[in-house]
A and B are shown apart, each in its own frame.
Chain A
Amino acid sequence: EIVMTQSPATLSVSPGERVTLSCRASQSVSSKLAWYQQKPGQAPRLLFYGASTRVTGIPARFSGSGSGTEFTLTISSLQSEDFAVYYCQQYNNWPPWTFGQGTKVEIK
């Protein structure tokens, strides 16, 4: 089973700042990586698949990059609605789907 590790666990950020979230796989997952955003009391929402393909409707301030074992989700200028928990998930080798433990982006 591929283990996904996200860092940091929590990020305290001010609105307008640039944010970089990391996701590491225990072995190569090629570009088969998805990112999700989850706000309190809501279901996860898909942001990216294929590591860098932004889902329709996701603002351009979000970008995804990486391949192999190292991946990054970047928010160029954090908006109030972006405070949430972000999860990565590999789908190169499933079952099982494996998720990272999440990174919480909170207001500083």
Chain B
Amino acid sequence: EIQLVESGGGLVQPGGPLRLSCAASGFTFSNFWMTWVRQAPTKGLEWVANINQDGSEKYYVDSVKGRFIISRDNAKNLLYLQTNSLRPEDTAVYYCARGDWGGGYGASWGQGTLVTVSA
């Protein structure tokens, strides 16, 4: 069974950092693109970032470029999202997903971790 389990969310002050993690199991992690998608309270889904199988390709939504860094550790089956210079508008549930079809869509999703940016 494919499992994705996010962790690392919490309450952080504006301007602060937070590192999110996603532990993957039930599939060969190193064979797949991985993705972060977020959802602000009562809002729709917003793609955040993608990373390819070996970490050599990374893509970000414009609003987080220069502030967020996606990375992965294939030896540990872990996906990360380092979030820096957080803003109130970054408040959201952050989901990790396995990106099938070359990272094109989210085939399996974790349950999400809530990041709240507030003073």
Contacts and interface: CB of A to CB of B under 8 A. Distances in A.
Contacts of A16: none
A95 B50 contact: yes
Interface of A: 32, 34, 36, 38, 42-46, 49, 55, 87, 89, 91, 94-102
Interface in B30-69: 35, 37, 44-47, 50, 59-62
Interface of B: 35, 37, 44-47, 50, 59-62, 95, 100-101, 103-112
17 contacts: A42-B111, A44-B37, A45-B109, A46-B106, A46-B109, A49-B101, A49-B107, A87-B44, A91-B101, A91-B104, A94-B47, A94-B103, A95-B59, A96-B59, A97-B50, A98-B47, A102-B44
A43 B105 contact: no
Interface of B: prevailing SS:
strand
Closest 10 CB pairs of A and B: A91-B104, A97-B47, A34-B105, A95-B59, A43-B109, A99-B45, A102-B44, A91-B105, A101-B44, A96-B47
Contacts of A91: 101, 104-105
Contacts of B46: 99
Nearest to A95: B59
A96 B47 CA distance: 7
